Amino acid sequence: MTTKRRGMAFFAVLTAGALALSACGGDDDDSGSGSGDTESPAGGSSGTPITVASDAEFTSYNGNSETGNGTWNTFVLNGVLDGFWDFGPQGEIVRNEAFGTYEVTSEDPLTVRYTFAENAVWSDGEPIDCDDLLLEWATQSGQYMTDQVGEDGQPIPLFAVPGTTGYDLVAKPTCQPGDKEVEYVYSEPFADWEVVTNSSMLPAHVAAEQAGMTAEDLVTAIQNDDMAALTPVAEFWNTGWDMGPGALLDQAVIPASGPYTIDSWEAGQSLTLVANENYYGDPPATDTIVIRFIQQDQQVQALANGEVDIIAPQVSVDLVQALEGLGDQVTMITGDEMTWEHLDFNQTEGAVFADPNLRQAFAMCVPRQQIVENLIQPANPEAVVMNLREIFPWDPTYDQVVGEAYDGRFDEPDIEGAKALIDAAGAAGTQIRVLRSDPNPRRADTVAAIKASCDQAGFEIVDTPTPDLGAGIVDVTSYEVALFAWAGSGVMSSGASLYRTNEGQNPYGYSNPDVDAAWTELIVTVDEDRQTELLTEIETHLWNDLFSIPLYAHPGVTAHNPAIEGVQQNAAQTQVSFNMEEWSRTS
């Protein structure tokens, strides 16, 4: 699965204006203890580790980069890196005042003052301060370009990020090294100003040291736009925090600002977090969290066997039945999630689906209703086919926007109509590789349903599983269609980096000047009626252009050992590990 925003998105999980690629997700009917309510930690022993399952291995300490922005990294970094805010269990914005505070000091121009807590320090003792926020501005604003040109004819950014929305409106901050206060001044109003900063800020002093300079030198280089000095910083920032399985970087390179530090990592098995001794906030309820890497179809058995204490896999009919069969051995929490499954077309020059008629043919043969009825409704009877990309079915404006933006033409398969388009294009027998994550039983079943339908129309659907979905999506030579999910949060501007021309999360070659203009207006619009009008315009274009085919919102389920308290269902992209510092064991 992917993410819409924790502050950012994946392929570049964290800048306002980006989504995150997700490795897992869910949503399901309540069948156990819960409606998503939090269970308060009870003061059990903090010495016994709590183990949680993740279906994807950690890859990077830098969740804000193009290569590191995935939910699999967010899953770990939730406990390791802090920021001024984060998403709560229902996708609401929760301020982190232990880290610092922020306030609007002027509406015209929009000015936001950030104040770091005086006692906020990295686990290595270095202060968390303006140096870190200034580095974030430099990396996320898109202000620094190399002299190289990409295949799209555009200059290649110095810092590789999935999106710059919001930060591209912020003037370069002025602060001195070590300052605890800094102001962001916007060139225009920005609807999502409160979440423009990343919720997992990175250490400037480490980036500086790895580039052969001091933190003071780094601040000076940014203030002076010194490209020669910033180039080695970017070289490290872009990929220097990435890691292969089990190849944990030295602790000096990956300090923590959150309640936990990364202690150890056994490739393919587990990653262990331990309490950060220099944490300035409330100490975590449990000293040690172990993240076990377990495939989704094995997580229920692992929970039943006591190998893990908490799971939150993607919902399937078999999974829900298996959990219900465990009875009072487990506690289940279910609820809607801001994660939506979709099919994205590779429309790059020379690709099969650069032809809009063939995109239409594919859309005409995808059995969306069948997929929802067979794979989602048995777990969540209220599930429906999703007909929008930026508004969820439970949102108040959903029906209004669907009525204006989508005419129902792809509600049911039209095999004969699709076949006529394929034959007219001379494309009968064309192989269509559908990229998906692996292992993922529900996506395998989805591709099988598409193949059974679209092969009748004249395509040859080829299931194309990959263990590294993020890298696969970026490599547009490896597929014609990508099946995955964006894990979202409801932030208004998050979709801009998906659909605007040449944005970091739009590797597909899609470009529509009207969509670009609508998004550019939307992100600076605070009037809700106008926001709805602009989203309607965007959705209309996305359907007419067939940028993608939305399928459904994920049902979510979290299950845990009843002896573990503090576990919550999380609707946003931050996932079940978002409040790991509150988990405790009662027995």
Mean pLDDT for the chain? 89
pLDDT reported for residue 489: 67
pLDDT at 100 over 80: yes
pLDDT reported for residue 344: 97
Shared domain for 237 and 359, answered yes or no, is no
> What is the percent of the chain with per-residue pLDDT over 70, rounded to a whole number?
92
The number of angstroms, rounded, from the C-alpha of 426 to the middle of its chain's C-alpha atoms is 38
Instruction: Answer yes or no: is 566 within a domain.
Output: no
pLDDT at 264 over 50: yes
- Tokens 């048995």 belong to residue: 378
Examine residue 245 and say whether the peptide bond preceding it is cis (omega within 30 degrees of 0): no
SS3 state at 253: helix
Q: Which domain holds residue 146?
A: 82-256
Shared domain for 395 and 530, answered yes or no, is yes
State the average pLDDT over residues 463-470.
91
**pLDDT per residue over 305-335, tens digit each?**
999 999 999 887 788 889 999 999 999 998 8
Residues 6+ apart with CB under 8 A from 486: 1, 2, 3, 4, 9, 19, 20, 21, 22, 339, 340, 342, 498
Instruction: Answer yes or no: is 428 within a domain.
Output: yes
Instruction: Answer yes or no: is 219 within a domain.
Output: yes
pLDDT at 2 over 90: no
In terms of C-beta density within 10 A (0-12 exposed, 13-18 middle, 19 or more buried), how is residue 240 classed? buried
pLDDT reported for residue 340: 93
* Closest among 11, 17, 3, 243 to 140, alpha carbons compared: 17
pLDDT at 179 over 90: yes
- Least confident residue range of 136-145, 198-207, 464-473, 481-490: 481-490
Shared domain for 245 and 351, answered yes or no, is no
SS3 state at 172: coil
pLDDT at 69 over 90: no
Shared domain for 251 and 346, answered yes or no, is no
Shared domain for 248 and 144, answered yes or no, is yes
Instruction: Answer yes or no: is 173 within a domain.
Output: yes
Residue 188 belongs to domain with CATH number: 3.90.76.10
Shared domain for 240 and 376, answered yes or no, is no
SS3 state at 554: strand
Shared domain for 515 and 369, answered yes or no, is yes
Shared domain for 350 and 227, answered yes or no, is no
* Closest among 100, 478, 418, 75 to 257, alpha carbons compared: 100
pLDDT reported for residue 490: 67
Q: Report the alpha-carbon distance of residue 225 to residue 227 in Å, rounded.
A: 6
Q: Running DSSP on this structure, what letter comes out for residue 375?
A: I
Instruction: Answer yes or no: is 312 within a domain.
Output: no
At which of 202, 237, 256 does a domain end?
256
In terms of C-beta density within 10 A (0-12 exposed, 13-18 middle, 19 or more buried), how is residue 195 classed? buried
Q: Per the structure, how many domains does the chain have?
A: 2
pLDDT reported for residue 151: 76
Residue 487 belongs to domain with CATH number: 3.10.105.10
Token readout for 314 is 């993607």
DSSP for 74-130, please give it. HHHHTTT---SEEE-TTS-EEE-TTTEEEEEEEETTEEEEEEE-TT-B-TTSPBP-H
**pLDDT per residue over 5-60, tens digit each?**
222 233 222 223 344 555 433 332 222 222 233 333 333 337 799 999 999 999 99
**pLDDT per residue over 142-167, tens digit each?**
999 999 988 778 899 999 998 888 99
Shared domain for 354 and 467, answered yes or no, is yes
Instruction: Answer yes or no: is 288 within a domain.
Output: no
Shared domain for 378 and 527, answered yes or no, is yes
